[in-house]
Structures are given as structure tokens and as C-alpha cells.
Structure 1
Amino acid sequence: RRQGIQAASEAEKQAKAAAEEAARPLQVGDKVKVIGSDLIGEVTKLTARKVSVSIGSITSTMARERVQRISATEYKTAMKTNAAGAGHRTYSTDVYQNDSVNERRLRFTPSIDVRGERVNDAIDKVLHFMDDALMVGVGQVTILHGKGNGVLREEIRKYLKTIGGVESFGDAPLDQGGAGITVVKLQ
């Protein structure tokens, strides 16, 4: 009985500490999760309304409301899970995370097809795709999202605005897909 009371009081202390941690304002160096996705990263810069998060080799700037602080334990667990499950990425070609830059350059295809994907899944694929595009140093890539209602196109373009290294983007020429394809020029 006494051990049960001690365990309950220990659990209460941990819950209270977690609540205090969650209430603390974001700071540079905090580990965060992008709400609505499996993306995790580290806060690198803060402004009144925006936060820059380093996710892999890409730094993305977004509204503070889009991120949630996670504990160091959650971060480590997520990193282990991602490392174990990230043997390959699911876009037009299988690109292995552990490959050298030269091997990635040889396997890289400068286009990705995310038609029919949910927004969060498409953004996740585009994030990895753009990460590789910037790493291998291509000058231009295309993202095939389809026309539909334009929601996927709009969300992908919002995301592209947050990526350093993107010079410009816009619709493909009409004879090459028009509004169903976003052409991205990289610096």
C-alpha cells in the first residue's frame, strides 16, 4: 500500500513537471514536433509569431502554432524510430538515407508525383525531396500535384515559401502541365 502511494505521488510529480515544461515559452534549442505530421526538429530562431525549425538539413520557418515542444526522451525515441524506418524514401526513386552525395546525385530524379496524397503526407514527401534536391545541387525541380481543387498546390507552395534555397516557383508552362505542376527554381 505504501509503495502504491509513493508511486502515485511520483507520477503526480512527473505530470506536474511535464505540465510546467509545456507551459514554458519556446526557446532556441527546444525540440519540437510539427503538428499534424511526423516531422521533428530543433528550434533555431524565434520571432514574435514565427519559429525556424531545423528538420534534417532543411530549416523551415512557420507559425509558432504549428509546432509543439516535445521532451528530450520523445525526441530521441522519434529519432530512433525515424532512423530505423527511414531506410528508403517513397517518392519517384528509392533514395537511401545513408548513401553518399554522389550516389544520391546519380539516383535523384528532379520531379516528384504527390497526386492523391493527403496534405500532410505530401508535405512530408516534398520536404524529403527538397532536402535531397538541395543536397545534390540541382537547379530546378518539378512537383506534380494535379489540379483538383488546388488545395494541395496551395499548401505545397506555402511550404516552399519557408525553405531557404528556393529562388522562385510557379506553374509549369501550359503544354507541360500548367497549374497541375509547380516548377521550383533553386539557388
Structure 2
Amino acid sequence: MAAKGKPNKGHENVRKHAEESRNQSLGRLKARIALFKRLIYERKENLISMEGLPRNPTKFLEDDWLPEATDPKEAIDPADVKVSRATLYKKEDEFIAKLKEVTNLCKVVKKPEDVAKEKKDLEAEIERLIIRTQNLAEVNSQLEHEYQQQIEELKTRISELLEENERLESILANRSSNVTSMF
């Protein structure tokens, strides 16, 4: 039995162990949340569906949503981010804040910021612009064809007018030579 006022070594070791365990579990929880945030951000940025990501805190505890790394350097060991239900639902302020953060992230997964709708709208706009571009190219081609026809017609008309002008000049020259020969 410990003397009055002296801490019991056994209790001190248990307290230290509990504190270490708490810090480790909080660290794993923070790492898991950071991974979850990264995946959500990457999917938002690349307009990828949130399919497969946890939609509630219970699913967040499961490992089936963790990414499988193709590069061994990026591989995530599930043990490094393993979180128990008891850890997630602890009644300490830090853990409560982390649970709220997980809940908010799950809401983002459930109702993404209409990324799919925005993507669909942008794809429809692209399709509309492609059709408009094709139509404009077709109109441009038709106009070019019409202008080429008009140019050819004008060249023909100019050629005809030049021939007519030469004919008239020759007639005029013949008449003027006839008039001068009379005098």
C-alpha cells in the first residue's frame, strides 16, 4: 500500500498507458479523417462520383472505402488508420469535434455539390457548342461555295464585257475609218 500523499506506481503506469493509448487512437482518427477529406477533395476536383465513400460515421469505421495504392510508397496500411467505434464516439471534446467533422464529411458524400449535375450541364453545353460549330462550318462552306460561284459568274461576265467592248471598239474603229475615208 502506498504511503499517504505518494502516488501509486501502478496507477501512474495505468494513467500513462491510457494517455498514450488515447493519443494514438486520436492520431489514427485524425489520419483517417485526413485521408477521407483528401479522397472527397480529389473526387470533387476531378468531377468523379462519391460512390464507394462512407455516407455515415458507421461506414467511416469500415475499411472497404480505403484506397488501394498502386505504388507501394503510397500504400495505406489499414492498421495505421484503424479506428474503433469506442474511439469515434468518445465523450471528450477533441473526439466530439472529430465526430462532427466526420458527420459533415459524410453529408458532403451524400449530397455532393451537384457535381454530377454541373458535369452534365457542362457536357450538354459542350455538345451544344460542338453542334453550333459544325453548323457554322457548314454555313461557312455554303457561303464559300456561293462566293466562288459569284466570282466565277463575275469573271465570265467581265470576260463577256471585255469581248463586247473589243467588238464595239472594232465597230467604232471601222465606222471612224469609213467616215474619214469619205472625206
TM over 0.5: no
More helix by share: 2
Please give the TM-score of this superposition, normalised by the length of structure 1: 0.27
Structure with the bigger percentage of strand: 1
Q: Which protein, 1 or 2, shows the higher relative CO under an 8 Å CA cutoff with sep ≥ 6?
A: 2
Larger radius of gyration, structure 1 or 2? 2
TM-score by length of 2: 0.27
